Amino acid sequence: MTTNCSNELPVAKPRKWWKTCLRTLGLGVVAMVALGFLVVVFENWRGRRAWEAYRVEAESRGVVLQLSVTIPPLIPEGSNVAAIPMLSALFDYHSTTNGEVRWKDSNLVNRVQSVSAFVTKVFADSGPNANWYKGTTENLEAIQKNLLKQGGNLAASTEPSTPARTILTALDEFGTELSILEEGFKRPQVRFPAHYEEGFACLLPTLSVMKGFSRLSLLKSSAYLAEGKTDEAFNQVLFSLRCGEVVGTNPLLISALVQLAIDWGSVSGIYEGLVGHRWTDAQIQGFTTVLRQRDPYALLRQSMQLERAIANDFYDRSRRGFVKESLLDLGSPFQDLRMVPSAMLYQNQRRQNQFYDAINFDGVREHGLSTFSKDAGMEQLTNGFWPYRALSAMLAPGIQSCLKKTVRGRVTLDLAILACELERYRIAKGTYPETLAKLVPQFLKAIPHDAASGGALHYHREKNDRFVLYSVGSDLKDDLGDIGKDEAGDWTWRMPKSLN
């Protein structure tokens, strides 16, 4: 009997290569996830530390960062223009779960907001309207045709009527609202009950409403001027100026810009009476008293403070997951910030606040756009790691455009004041002066500088009792008063070629 013995060990089966790869890949993924987690934790810590360091430093400089401190304080209703029911109703609303806005008194709100729709219809295809910059006055004949096309009592009337009388009759439709608002304007203070706590979703329905009432009052002024009723026209222009002042008390950037737009229209109303030599010396002084109280730079600085606070509140709520604003509507590539690392929110918040710090308000006030770099403050929003600047670049206002509009608002006021004093000189002396220096000291303490360039404003007396007064505009080039195309030329106050 033979026995076979073997000392050989059993041969292990070779491991399949793909299992090795999977195991290695799995370990790699785990390692990457762990590393990514550590990076996120570290960046979150670094971002918070950077923000806290900035916050302490900024507050030591007196910068107010909290929204609760920046919101305007409440004032007694009896002293508050915005407390009259016609205006307060615009803020008495709530938002449903699906984002729909519902007003408590929708009938009153619809009535007040119908002013804007009426204005749009009245001025549709009415040709050139009153505009000091374009040298045009109101086209009352075209507006009369628009009103007659709308039907109603005006179209049914068989009695002939002048354009001015037709317009004044049509505007009686809003006579009650205008009277209520005029009475409300006698109150000394303004504090709108805006829902500031809603942040960027805060509604400001008064902007279009006040702009509409301003436009109605200026149209009434044009009609009264056509009928030779300068006292009534004067009061309507003052009403329009008050509309702008009321809007500007709401310390948000959009409110500041709307005030500039309303003031532009009001100045065009003043322009109509000046070029026709309709205003008296006393009325002109009434206009300049109001115009001298305007300060577009202070308005912009004030609005930027609240914009900064709203942005900080937005970042704080985002970190807590309490953001109600639609990020897609705000232009964000992120639909839900709850999924965003806090590092991104902290770093964007810091950058946006540094952006506000970089705005040189005093430099622009003193030297105009000539010393304003096109990139001023923007390096905080355009340089660096994209995720750490994406939100701040989206939420920060277009400061270049805002500053240009603010400077142009200052130029508009200065040109209007100078034109008023030139007319007062003409009333007293019988002709316009050869130079602006002749206005000092009887009519002006000093000649304002060109807010765009920081240099001198340009003035030329022309033949036939006319003059040209202008700023070099945002391009800082003297185009001899030519406004150019797309408003690229000078910002010019000139007499119209002919009166409508």
Domain annotation covers residue 178:
yes
* Per-position b or e across 317-332, b if 16+ CB within 10 A of its CB: bbbeeebebebeebeb
Range with the poorest average pLDDT among 171-185, 259-273, 312-326, 379-393: 379-393
- Please, what is the average pLDDT of the chain? 87
State mean pLDDT over 3-21: 60
Overall residue count recorded for the chain in this entry: 500
> Is residue 60's pLDDT more than 50?
yes
Domain annotation covers residue 263:
no
Choosing from 204, 239, 274, the residue where a domain stops is 239
State mean pLDDT over 160-182: 92
Domain annotation covers residue 397:
no
Choosing from 239, 264, 287, the residue where a domain stops is 239
Domain annotation covers residue 268:
no
Sheet holding 458-462, edge to edge: 458-462, 466-471, 491-494
State mean pLDDT over 134-154: 84
Nearest one of 139, 156, 159, 140 to 148, comparing CA atoms: 156
What's the confidence (pLDDT) of residue 422?
A: 98
Domain annotation covers residue 154:
yes
pLDDT band at 263 (very low <50, low <70, confident <90, very high): very high
What's the confidence (pLDDT) of residue 328?
A: 43
Domain annotation covers residue 111:
yes
Domain annotation covers residue 15:
no
Range with the poorest average pLDDT among 241-250, 262-271, 337-346: 337-346
pLDDT digits (tens, 9 = 90+) for 38-58: 777 778 888 899 999 999 999
């009061």: which residue's tokens? 235
State mean pLDDT over 112-118: 92
> Is residue 425's pLDDT more than 90?
yes
What's the confidence (pLDDT) of residue 36?
A: 72
What's the confidence (pLDDT) of residue 251?
A: 93
Domain annotation covers residue 142:
yes
| DSSP secondary structure letters along 187-253 | SSB------GGGGGG---THHHHHHHHHHHHHHHHHHHHHTT-HHHHHHHHHHHHHHHHHHHTS-SH
Domain containing 494 equals 406-421+429-500
What's the confidence (pLDDT) of residue 247?
A: 97
Answer yes or no: pTM beyond 0.85: yes
Q: How many domains does the chain have?
A: 2
pLDDT band at 67 (very low <50, low <70, confident <90, very high): very high
State mean pLDDT over 482-490: 80
**360 or 395: which carries more pLDDT confidence?**
360
State mean pLDDT over 59-66: 94
DSSP letter at 427 equals H
**Proportion of the chain above pLDDT 90, given as a percent:** 59
**35 or 122: which carries more pLDDT confidence?**
122
Choosing from 174, 205, 239, the residue where a domain stops is 239
pLDDT digits (tens, 9 = 90+) for 324-376: 554 545 555 555 566 678 888 898 899 889 888 888 888 888 888 876 655 45
What's the confidence (pLDDT) of residue 133?
A: 93
State mean pLDDT over 127-147: 90
Rounded to whole angstroms, the Cα distance separating 456 from 18 reads 81
State mean pLDDT over 70-92: 95
Across-strand partners of 103? 93
What element of type H or E holds 102?
A: strand 101-103
Rounded to whole angstroms, the Cα distance separating 346 from 319 reads 9
> Is residue 75's pLDDT more than 90?
yes
What's the confidence (pLDDT) of residue 448?
A: 96
pLDDT digits (tens, 9 = 90+) for 270-320: 999 999 999 999 999 999 999 999 999 999 999 999 999 999 998 888 888
DSSP letter at 128 equals S
